[in-house]
Structure 1
Amino acid sequence: MGKKTQRSLLLLLFLSGLVHCSAALVFWTAVVEINYFISPNKTVDKDCECGIFGRNSPLAQAAGFVVIPRGDPKGCGPDPVYNVSGLPWIALVKRGNCTFSQKINAAKRQGASAVVVYNVDGSGNGTAHMAHSDALEIVSIMIGNIQGMEIASLVRNGTEVRMIIDAGSPHGPWMDTYWLYFMSIAFFIVTAASVAYFLFISANRLYNMRMHRRAERRLKSEAKKAIGRLRVRTLKRDDEETASESHMCAVCIESYKAGEVVTVLTCDHIFHKACIEPWLLEKRTCPMCKCDILKALGVEVDEKDSMSQAAPQEVTVITVAGGEAMYEVPLTDPLNFDPERQEHHYDNGAFEGEAARGQ
């Protein structure tokens, strides 16, 4: 598995975990509407987006008359807890003494269409995001203590209070306005930084490529001028190079023939003109002795250019008058040349022995 694939998987896992955590932090408000009669001809209607749906509550509408528990307002006693009629009703119960699930299930068993839990004393109209994993499939919300005490007081006094619960709006880190502003700005900054970095890398790469091509063009231009100064001659029948097939061009490995045009390098080695000129444009050195022809002709080359144009080590051809062509393979680093340590091996063992006796 490549590094890019691993990074993509890690990013996917991170984002999925982030979405999961964010979903757990999101909560929905509840719109609570109540109405009741204070006289035969006067009705009071109140509504506010002041409730919060429980984490395990369905986001649905519920309606009915408000009913409070008998005796203990916290609704934690044994069944039956509520005095109910056949009409749809909503349980209003105070927070405390038992779990939210126990309160909700007690009302659910007696047929409540919804459960409203109001907060503890001293909490004002503050609410909490209650969890009730053991009480499902019934609308359950929490409202503030002040509002809950007011409704409970009306019910105790015999007032019939009708309540309608409806879904409000989502809230949380992904829905909060300031958080969205922050995420938008952060996304813009990260995107801008990524684009700027990409443009910088691309511009730098294009600049380096342009400079490299410019250096190559300059070097080839200088090389062409220098190559034009090399001595050129046309071989004749009585020339030494055409008299024996042992003399051959080290570039194309072909023997010289009368009438062919050859170029004489500064090191006095000769090659076919058509062979050596493209070679020198690319390699700059003599194929036989590795002499830097351009430097010998006074063409200065920058170190960077020389590294990009440096030729790999080539096989050196040695010709012996009256014999066959033999090949010399340098075994030491040509950039760290030491004449005393340079060793040569020849294909012809007899010649190697002769060379050793000659030394």
Structure 2
Amino acid sequence: MTLPSSVLAQAGGKRVKVGVLTDMSGFASDANGKGSVTAAQLAAEEFASQLPGWTIEVVFADHQNKPDIGASIARRWIENEGVNAIFDVPVSSVALAVSEVTRNSNALFIGSGPGSTELTGAKCSPHTIHWTYDTWSLARGTAKAVTEAGNKRWFFLTADYAFGHALERDASELVKASGGTVVGAVRHPINTSDFSSFLLQAQASNSEVIALANAVGDTINSIKQASEFNITAGKQKLVALLLQLTDVHSLGLKTAQGLYLTQPFYWDMNAGTRAFSDRFMAKDGRRPTDVQAGVYSSLIHYLKAVRKTDSSNADAVVAAMKDMPTDDPLFGRGAIRKDGRVIHDMYVMQVKTPAESKGPWDYFKLVSTIPAADAFRPEDQGGCPLVKA
């Protein structure tokens, strides 16, 4: 289903049309969804004066977390509706399908929502940019930090789709490289409501860490039920390898306190992130997640490339995007590599206790910073043909 479009910046005769393809109604809608559309609208509105002679149009649609639906919308947008670039696309299986649609088209895919490293690995595309995070960067932060703190025996509770598989794989490699061992794993269907059998298997593993290699609604439900079963009342630690701001808001600090997470963006990091988050909150009613911030940041960089080339041609724009350093108040300075991976600093954080929080959305405290050069998988290890070329 494609939702109504809005012409957000009408400046002249040329037009650039961008589509936000997201989860508007399912388990990822809280962290992405309407907020991702808000972020794109903000970027278009704020950049309009810097792109004279151009109209910026934003359309958005719900892919319903289904690869076939996502690919169908992307194809229709490009072939029939003149969309030049597609943004967000949570759920890695959908993102991989969209990446294939844009591969040989005159359109770009700039993903903020997905996590699979395959997007910049063996399945990389000259028309795909991966912006916010990926499974390797999440593991590089949380798994490494928790293992090096002395928690050596890991058991994975993993969502059974592309993102979950990649997150388990990348975290397992980092655990082993940090001196730990993986004692077992269990996989659950996406969008699961009952985690009891999976959590009991994790509890019976006698691991020191139960690692959640899942996301958004699945992460919320698994943490809630682990708390209800008092699983972490003993020696086992619960680790969420991907934890969103909205997840913690839903869980509450009493349940989520103490959890470690890795983020590329937090709304209260500095004056620049707070200023953007205030503008976002005025439109959306709450603070942005990192993936919503990624939609804004990636669209701003895309529009800079449109301005530089005075074109919406995919090859010209992606070349300009890779040629220019990324630089904005939300993610700081970075770069786009040949494989399409955007590199920037990542941050290991911990969820505050109720006593530490000063109010709504004051949920995270900084533990350490991972420099951009160390935060993502080395370019020569991903198997991307664009790098070999």
TM-score tier by shorter-chain length is: under 0.3
Larger Rg: 1
Work out which structure has the larger RCO, using CA pairs closer than 8 Å and 6 or more positions apart in sequence: 2
Quick check: which one's helix share is greater?
Answer: 2
